Amino acid sequence: MLQQYTSVGVFLTVGALFVAVTLLVGRLLRPHNPYPEKLAPYECGEIPVGGGQVRFNIRYYIFALIFVIFDVETVFLYPWAVVFEEIGLFAFVVMMLFIGTLVEGLVYAWKKGALRWV
C-alpha cells in the first residue's frame, strides 16, 4: 500500500528535477547579455505604462464560488460511484436529492443572472 504512494513521490520529484536539470544544463550553453530594454515587460513595443501586477476586477468571482460548491460535490461522487452497486436504490435516491439541492442553487444563480459574463 505504502509502496504505491512512494511512486507518487518519486514521480513528482523526477518531474520537478527534470525541469531544474534542463534549465541548469541550458545555463552552460546559452548566452547571458541583459540590458534594460531587453528586460522591459513586453507591451507591443511601447514603453510599459505602470506595473503589470495591477488591481484587477476578477470577473469569475461568482463562478469561483459556485465552482467550490460543485467541486466539493464531485469529491462525494467518487466514493458514491464505487459503492453504488452494493447499496443500490437507496444510494441513488440520496445522491439525487443531494445533487437536486445543489442544482436548485445553480438554478437560483442562473435566474439571478450570476452566470452571465459581464
Where on the chain is the footprint of another protein (CB under 8 A)?
A: 3-4, 6-8, 10-16, 18-20, 22-23, 25-27, 29-34, 36, 38-44, 51-54, 56, 58-60, 63-64, 66-67, 70-71, 74, 77-78, 81-82, 84-85, 88-89, 92, 95-96, 99, 103, 106, 110, 115-117
Q: To the nearest whole angstrom, how small is the minimum distance from the Cβ of residue 96 to another protein?
A: 6
Q: To the nearest whole angstrom, how small is the minimum distance from the Cβ of residue 79 to another protein?
A: 9
Q: To the nearest whole angstrom, how small is the minimum distance from the Cβ of residue 51 to another protein?
A: 6
What's the grid cell of residue 104?
A: 436548485
Q: Which pairs count as long-range contacts for 48-53, CB under 8 Å and 24+ apart, including other chains? A: none
Phi and psi (nearest 5°) for 98? -65, -50
Q: To the nearest whole angstrom, how small is the minimum distance from the Cβ of residue 101 to another protein?
A: 12
Nearest Cα to 77, choosing from 65, 93, 58, 95? Answer: 95
- Which residue stretches of 30-116 are H helix? 36-39, 61-87, 89-111
The one-letter amino acid code at 47 reads I
